[in-house]
Amino acid sequence: MKEKLEQLKTLLARVADLENAAAVLDWDQETYMPEGGVQARADQLSTLQGLAHEYFVDEEVGTLLHDLAAHLDELDYDSDEASLIRVSLRDYEKQVKVPGDLVREISRTSALGTQAWREAREKDDFSLFQPYLEKMVELKIRWAECFKPYDNIYDPLLDDFEPGMTYEQISAVFAELKPPLVELVRAISQKRDAVDDSVLKAHFDKDAQMAFGRAVAEQLGYDLTRGRIDISAHPFTTNFWRGDVRITTRLDENDVVSGLMGTIHEAGHAIYEQNTSPTLYRTGLDRGASMAVHESQSRFYENVIGRSRPFWRHFYPRLQEAFPHFKSLDFEAFYRALNKSEPSLIRVEADEVTYGLHIILRFELENDLFNGRVSVADLPEVWNARMEEYLGLVPPTDREGVLQDIHWSQGLMGYFPDYLLGSVFSVQLWEQMQKEMPGVVEQIEAGQFEDILAWLREKIHRHGRKFTLPEITARVTGGPLRWEPYMDYLRTKYGEIYGL
């Protein structure tokens, strides 16, 4: 068994190297690659992703996995060895059903589509992106059909990001969460003038913003000797291995909060990746468990910590020093402005309360898109209608509407619900952390984040992909994923701010 396990690790390391090489090219395309490089980059990524898939679904890998799976009962479920066999077999049995030509075509279309999306967004012209999105939807339908039978064609796409989760399961959570969320949004809207965020609007030097964001991210635990921060059209995190995890942000010279919160969000992702166990290197397990677990980390750092009073009691004097505009603004006015809640057009800039409605809109729209109830051509109109229904706003441009997110251009259909699932889980983590670390609030106020990182590393980060979201939730909190703590957190925080 030991010999076969080493053989498997050798084969999986080759796959990991190819995937990480492709990730470097992806990162370059989003940061420094000139526009003229897109066709060659599409071909390069198609080749690398195709090879990675070909090597992973090779018969030798399948034979080793099935032989090793017969010995799973002899191993500790939590061990690296058992997890490697269990998770790799799950991945193999899914990937082996997908033709290599389809993998290559999705990768090529993603690279071309990303460039088209960027141009369409800049020019506010959906028609420039539409044919690429139609092609991607067609390809992802073919992908999903590889996994028949299913209850919903959307299920295999969701499973790519949240193993084992289906539309029915996620929809059940969102269906219970949506009514109280809408109720809270409406209650706050009755007192919208109670919080003034105009105090946050001024001119903020972009270099100063980048320096401040870098300092905050580093203090939270992002190791810049194993990472870097750059600018991109849409903030993202790229992981090559725990020793090289890079993030990007985007800055608005008229809004210091937007770029800072984006930087903290991506730092949360990167901190997760930098703290996976080194024993998982090149196994395919050395990255986040799932996208909901990943988003729980980014949303935890961005919102639960990053928009809290204790956090800003420490950082506000430094913000005032970096940006003199704030020197005459008292702390409480800043805190309330930072947490102003009102419907807005852009998801990544939405406040904690309205954010969930942005996600539910996308989740429901993707489900309708893949079940043939909405066409790509109809997306701008349907998007605008649902924005008006859910948030009372109609985007004046497609740039602020259907073109705002990069995900569809890259074929990341099924990803969006994980943002809200992760937000829900982030609050459960915070509840548990406070029980096990009674002085955690005081540590945040003192700017001490080492124990928080150590707790997250022990409970989540070090395990990489060894466990699923339900397993992690049970292990850390002693029970299943629950939306009620998240709703209680929002009611308490925003009830206090708005006097509800």
Query: Which DSSP category does 286 fall into?
Result: S
Kindly tell me the sign of the dihedral angle through the C-alpha atoms of 252, 255, 260, 262.
negative
Alpha carbons 116 and 33: distance in angstroms, whole number:
14
Backbone angles phi, psi at 396, to 5 degrees: -75, -20
Alpha carbons 421 and 471: distance in angstroms, whole number:
14
| Closest listed residue to residue 333, CA positions, set 201, 196, 445 | 196
Residue 97 in 3-state DSSP? Answer: coil
Cβ(248)–Cβ(231) below 8 Å: yes
Query: Which DSSP category does 308 fall into?
Result: S
The answer to whether residue 436 is catalytic is no
Q: Tell me how long the chain is.
A: 500
Alpha carbons 71 and 229: distance in angstroms, whole number:
44
Backbone angles phi, psi at 307, to 5 degrees: -115, 20
Alpha carbons 459 and 256: distance in angstroms, whole number:
33
Burial class of residue 140 (count of CB atoms within 10 Å of its CB; 0-12, 13-18, 19+): buried
Backbone angles phi, psi at 244, to 5 degrees: -150, 90
Cβ(199)–Cβ(331) below 8 Å: no
Query: Which DSSP category does 303 fall into?
Result: I
Q: Write down the catalytic residue from 19, 105, 162, 266.
A: 266
Residues designated catalytic: 266
